[in-house]
Amino acid sequence: MDTEEIGSDHSSTEEQQHGIVISTATVTLLVPFFGYVMSFIGAFLCISASIVIPSLYYLKINKASFRRLDIEQSIHSHNDTKGLLLEQ
């Protein structure tokens, strides 16, 4: 690769980055309550991940004894955890 080709790749990447920043800024200014919407989406994804990922790891660790009873036990234990979170 010539140094000219590297420079053109860098400028197109820089233009893409500027475009993303400008479009994001435009959306935040035009959408009312954008901060609240993003907070809700972030909180929803975090709580979903904190409930789903431990279940998946449990199933992966106990793959040798992969039976229906294990799956049901995992689901019930994480539903209990979810219930404790919702009570507070």
Residues 44 and 72 grouped into a single domain:
yes
| Coil, strand or helix at 66 | coil
Percentage of the chain exceeding pLDDT 90: 15
| Count of domains for the chain | 2
Residues 18 and 48 grouped into a single domain:
no
User: Does pLDDT of 23 surpass 90?
Assistant: yes
Residue range(s) defining the domain that contains residue 15? 1-30
Distances 73 to 6, 57, 62, 63, 83 between C-alpha atoms, Å: 55, 14, 12, 14, 15
Give residue-wise pLDDT tens across range 69-81: 556 666 666 666 6
